[in-house]
Chains A and B, each alone.
Chain A
Amino acid sequence: MNLHGTPLSIIIFALFVAAVLFLSFFFARKAKSAAGYYAAGGQIHWAVNGISFAGDYLSAASFLGICGMIATLGYDGFLYSIGYLAGWVVALFVVAEPMKRMGKFTFTDALDAKFDSRGIKLTAAISTLVVSICYLIPQMNGAGSLVEPLLGLPHWVGVILVGAIVIVIVSAAGMTSTTYVQFLKGGLLLIFSTILVGFVLSRGLSTEPVGLDDGAPGGEMTVQATESQLQEQGYALLHTTGSLLKYDRDGATTWWKREADGTLWRAQWSSGDQVNGVAGGVLEPVGRLRQIGGMSAAEAADGTGAVGPLAFLAHLTHPDTRVEQWQKQAVTDEKGAKYAVYSPKTVSGTDEMKPGVKFKVHTTTEKLNFVSLMMALFFGTAALPHILIRYYTVPSPACARKSTIVAIASIGFFYVLTLFLGLGAAVNGTVNPADNNMSAPLLAMSFGGVLFAVISAIAFATVLGTVAGLIVAASGAVAHDLMDRFGRMELTDRQKVRAGKIAAFAVGIVAIVLGIVFRGVNVSFLVGWAFAVAASANLPAILMLLFWKRTTAAGIVASIIVGIVSSLGIILTGPEMFAGPYGLTAEQAWHPLGQPGIISIPLSFLALIVVSLVTKNRRVAEAA
């Protein structure tokens, strides 16, 4: 099945864009001052700010990425939901009120509030830019990837479209318009994700779910056979590699996956421009239940009917339930031709609903990587610059606190929904095996065009809201931190606004260029970089500034530098980069760690403590 946009999805997206552009120009007249531009005048209601937090934070990585990971990996994808939400606890209990109390427009303001140090201004601004750019690239790339199948436009058009809209939003009214775009998006995302989960539960579970084009999701891709049956049907075995078998019949190539019991399941493949033997073809959506625990085969085919949320999960957790998990393998055939083969693996409900598919914890390295990832998720959220600047948009620290609680409630609720969305996609034949990011839109499509249109439009809105927040943070770092404060340009209020708009335009252009340059590259790992850098470079500085009176400006500078260098250094020399972007093997990496947090976070703390003690004559006399 080929994904394609419907006129309705285009109309809904156009209406959303028109609404946000109207809001931007409406507020532009009221955001003439620097406070208005960078912090929405500090007058946003805490409830609005709380939902805007959700709109800011729930990026494409959350909505599309986590749902996709759950759809293909089961519970392992949900670990991200848990970690991302837990990070808000750090934000509420430790960071929210002090950040509001100490800061003005940017995260750098708060760090520098007690020191007036050019070193802090420079390093914190650089950290903001590194984190924001790491976060921006996947968002922009994702925008292009969404536009291609949904609107039928080229990738670069999607990137430019999103970039241009966001530049207009941010340049028009800065944080004010950005706030309402994020509020709108956050609200819509929560409402329609809830509706989609309602549809999933009302459909229930079945080994023969209905919904997609032909009423049989996965179509011929769920064909099962034995080797002798294939031979009887005229298939000739040409090549075997591991559990994958390549057959030919009448010149048509097919790949099959052999399971432990000898059963063969039809796989999908791509090689060059060939997809399943069709030039320029597309992969069939896949994913279904093969058995539902506690039910006969006939009962499972009829399905459970509508189920409650706990019953839905309990059915899937049953040890006798069998679920397909689709995997991609790069293989070479007997002629040396390279194939990407997508094949199903049958797992029990027990394995589907517990960690261990992606995040294995058997070896010491695997354990360290897992702990490291969970540390980065936990400590990264409260140190993301585009999140922290939202604290300056409310009137008081008490409002900062309350808005964080609204954020925890709304984001926590959404992350609970991700488990149902991801699992719903996994068992309703709505997973694109080559790109699991489209699982949520495909799942919506199985319930009809209207829901698909709305969910697709929200997917675009998701990118718009997050990119707007990132561009505000990055442009604030350039115009406010670097030009005005580090560069001592002594800008007037009006000049600060103009500098912010020019910086937003420049950052937006950079984002567009990077989005186009990275086309086709899987850059989702960059979100992980953003969290790792934020947790390593920013959070130790924030925590020590708040809780250790001997912290010095030099200590903070050292902490940020060590945090950035160590986290990026560990990532760049690690196995994931060698096996991925470098095109080498994981064994050639300098060390086995894929996640840096367990090393880089303590290292950053240590650097701050040592340098602060060495430079103690400049320590803070009294904590605020």
Chain B
Amino acid sequence: MLHGPARHAGPDPASGYKTRLGVVMFIIYCVVYTGFVMLNVLSEGRTMQVIVFGGLNLAVVYGFGLIVFALVLALIYNRLCTQKERELSGCDGAEEVGS
């Protein structure tokens, strides 16, 4: 069952929407990631040692935040993409959208 020929992708009516959404999400994350890098560079690490929450400093909170934020954005992206795929194809499952 798992090893038949690879499926050939067909047209994806949601492709344009997903590309635009992906670029927006990428830019949002890129800004937050760049903020982390530049904050460290410009303040030479001093800002990173500020305690911000529950005894944790900004370095730890921002670092964990970047990891969690990536997952949150990913889930939102998937939700919106799946909705659009269903809307444009009339299928129940995203896997059947194909392309």
Contacts and interface: CB of A to CB of B under 8 A. Distances in A.
Contacts of B57: 317, 350, 353-354
A345 B66 CA distance: 30
Interface string A472-509: 00000000000000000000000000000000000000
Contacts of B45: 354-356, 361
Interface in B54-85: 54-57, 59-60, 63-64, 66-68, 70-71, 73-75, 77-78, 81-82, 85
A41 B4 contact: yes
Interface stretch (A124-132, A160-168, A397-405, A530-538): A397-405
Given A41-B4, A93-B23, A93-B29, A412 B67 contact: yes
A401 B2 CA distance: 19
Contact of B51 (A78, A317, A356): A317
B29 A395 contact: no
B60 A317 contact: yes
Contact of A397 (B2, B9, B26, B40): B9
A41 B99 contact: no
A156 B30 CA distance: 43
Contacts, number: 175
A16 interface: no
A408 B2 contact: no
B6 A361 contact: no
Contact of B95 (A82, A310, A318, A398): A398
Interface in A536-558: 546-547
Interface string B3-45: 1111101001001001100110110010001001100110011
Contact of B7 (A40, A75, A351, A395): A395
A523 interface: no
B94 interface: yes
B33 A395 contact: no
Interface stretch (A29-37, A208-216, A233-241): A29-37
A31 B4 CA distance: 8
Given A94-B23, A416-B64, A408 B71 contact: yes
B95 A396 contact: yes
A620 interface: no
Contact of B74 (A39, A75, A92): A92
A354 B48 contact: yes
B66 A370 contact: no
Given A85-B67, A93-B22, A94-B22, A361 B5 contact: no
Nearest to A75: B59
Given A353-B60, A354-B49, A370-B37, A43 B3 contact: yes
Given A94-B26, A314-B54, A317-B51, A370 B7 contact: no
Contacts of B41: 361, 367, 370-371
Contacts of A176: 2-3
Given A35-B5, A89-B29, A396 B48 contact: no
A53 interface: no
A97 interface: yes
Given A355-B48, A397-B99, A89 B18 contact: no
B78 A402 contact: yes
Name which of A40, A97, A311 has the most chain B CB atoms within 10 A of its CB: A97
A565 interface: no
Contacts of B3: 27, 30-31, 36, 40-41, 43, 176
Contact of B26 (A89, A395, A396, A419): A89
A10 interface: no
A43 B2 contact: yes
A298 B41 CA distance: 39
A176 B95 CA distance: 20
A304 to B, nearest CB: 13
Interface of B: 1-7, 9, 12, 15, 18-19, 22-23, 25-26, 29, 33, 36-37, 40-41, 44-45, 48-49, 51, 54-57, 59-60, 63-64, 66-68, 70-71, 73-75, 77-78, 81-82, 85, 94-95, 97-99
17 contacts: A36-B5, A43-B1, A43-B6, A82-B63, A86-B29, A86-B66, A89-B74, A310-B56, A315-B55, A353-B57, A354-B57, A374-B33, A374-B37, A396-B9, A398-B95, A401-B77, A412-B70
CB-CB nearest 9 A-B residue pairs:
A42-B6, A314-B55, A93-B22, A41-B3, A93-B26, A398-B94, A30-B3, A356-B45, A354-B48
Given A317-B60, A408-B70, 14 more contacts: A31-B3, A42-B7, A82-B63, A90-B26, A93-B25, A97-B15, A314-B54, A314-B55, A351-B49, A354-B49, A354-B59, A362-B44, A399-B95, A408-B71
